[in-house]
Structure 1
Amino acid sequence: MNSCDITLAGQSLRALGSGALHWPEKALLVVSDLHLGKAERLARRGGAILPPYETRDTLLRLEADIRATDPARIICLGDSLDDDAARAGIGPAEIETIDAMQCGRDWIWITGNHDPAPRDLGGRVAEEAVLGPLGFRHIAGDRVPEISGHYHPKARLALGGRVVSRRCFLHDANRIIMPAYGTYTGGLDWTASPLADLMHLGACAVLTGQRPCKVPVPRPAPPSTTARRATRRHAV
């Protein structure tokens, strides 16, 4: 399985090309921001009409990661449903897939800001979880080391004369911010605030895809002398 090694609080983790995070020592698989039912939610609210296959595609990719890693525990880091009403749009085949993936495993739905977490899809619901030295929550907080989601980080790189955009993990010595796992989810530029504010100097990104790779996170350029002078004048 394509992966890239990450160390957080002395723990050896594997960032998978799919956007999932594997902790082999704890037999744990972590995913974030599944946003199941996004196509249905957009159609329901009069938005763009998208092919209604993203829930099935997201679950099939998760099913493949579970087969490859055989975890004893799975943590979904919030926004597992695209909104509170999205549960009604999940069909019987998808429910059956979720049931099969949960069989014999401890499955934790962390609550998100889009949804309070599904309470009738098996597993258990929690605002946060702690395993060993690591905390797991939807939105990055002050208690570190932690693993969180919410921001959907995405890297933009110039490669071979073209700009490539890839979902990515962001990590430093204190935290890992997961990429969105859902098929139709967008992304926030890896240098944008608040991601730039959360990541300390020396932070790295792991780009997802067929060949996950680690790259340094660029720091935002300091303001020019002219901009600094304008700021000082404005402050006065």
Structure 2
Amino acid sequence: MDGYSFTLAGAALTALPSGALYWEARNLLCVSDLHLGKSERRARLGEPPLPPYETRDTLTRLEADMRRTGAATVICLGDSFDDAAAAHALPDAEKLWIAKLQAGRRWVWIEGNHDPGPVDLGGAHMAELPSPPLVFRHIARARQSGEISGHYHPKARLALRGRSLSRPAFLIDSDRVILPAYGTYTGGLWSDDAAFTGLMRDEALAVLTGPMLHAVPMPRRSAGR
């Protein structure tokens, strides 16, 4: 399978070009920060509008990853919806689409800071999911081995053939993986942000997503910056 393969706490994992994470031994696909319904929430709050296509685009890519892997379990790692009202406001066609994706497989919604409570869209709802040797949760905790999380929407830059490449990125070290945001309308936090200083070990890698994955030492803030 195309992707960046690595081991975390003894589990063999693959970072996919889309930003999803696949655990072959458990036939498990994990995605984070879908932020479905973001355009609806912005319109509801009177913010500058966005074209209302992001949910369909995100679900199209998720369905492609599910077909590609044949995953029997899907974990949505928090902030699956831009807020609780956005989940309820999804058009019926998109709710039906989610139900079809859930059919015949285990589906887990992990609570995020944007969607802290259950939604009436099928699947299980959990604060976090221990699946030894790994644990799935929305926000990383310091000194937590075998942790899979999201929340920060990490992204990274690198110089490539005389130009700068900027992409959403997996951050990976010997303790944890922080997934990039999977949703279509999501910003990001550069890997050299101070938020990652106390989380990622010195050997951490950034794996930039896209048609061709690029694994590089995680870009960090320069001394004195």
TM-score surpassing 0.5? Answer: yes
Identity %: 57
CA distance in 2, matches of 1:129, 1:192: 27
- 1:147-204: CA deviation from partner (whole Å, max 9, x where unpaired): 0000000112222333221000001000000000000000000110112321111100
CA distance in 2, matches of 1:85, 1:177: 27
1:234 maps to which residue?
none
2:209 maps to which residue?
208
DSSP-derived class of the 1:198 partner: coil
Contact 1:190/1:196, CA 8 A, preserved across alignment:
no
CA distance in 1, matches of 2:24, 2:177: 16
2:40 maps to which residue?
40
Q: Tell me the number of residue pairs that the alignment of Structure 1 and Structure 2 aligns.
A: 224
Report how far residue 117 of structure 1 moved: 4.5
Contact 1:79/1:114, CA 8 A, preserved across alignment:
yes
DSSP-derived class of the 1:5 partner: strand
Report how far residue 89 of structure 1 moved: 2.3
CA distance in 1, matches of 2:57, 2:89: 15
- 1:191-227: CA deviation from partner (whole Å, max 9, x where unpaired): 1011232111110011111111211113322228xxx
Contact 2:78/2:137, CA 8 A, preserved across alignment:
yes
Name structure 1 gaps, 5 residues minimum. 225-236
1:104 matches 2:104: yes
Contact 1:29/1:75, CA 8 A, preserved across alignment:
yes
Relative to the length of structure 1, the TM-score reads 0.91
Report how far residue 33 of structure 1 moved: 0.3
Report how far residue 85 of structure 1 moved: 0.8
2:87 maps to which residue?
87
Q: Could you list the runs of 4 or more consecutive aligned residues of structure 1 that deviate by over 6 angstroms after TM superposition?
A: none
DSSP-derived class of the 1:67 partner: helix
Report how far residue 118 of structure 1 moved: 4.2
Q: For the aligned residues, what is the CA RMSD? A: 1.3
Instruction: Name the larger-Rg structure.
Output: 1
- 1:117-146: CA deviation from partner (whole Å, max 9, x where unpaired): 542110010000011200100000143220
Q: 1:100 to 1:199 in 2, by over 3 A?
A: same
One-letter amino acid matched to 1:148: S
CA distance in 1, matches of 2:117, 2:10: 30
1:181 maps to which residue?
182
Contact 2:74/2:107, CA 8 A, preserved across alignment:
yes
1:145 matches 2:146: yes
CA distance in 2, matches of 1:87, 1:44: 13
1:171 maps to which residue?
172
CA distance in 2, matches of 1:158, 1:133: 35
One-letter amino acid matched to 2:59: L
CA distance in 1, matches of 2:60, 2:221: 37
Name structure 2 gaps, 5 residues minimum. none
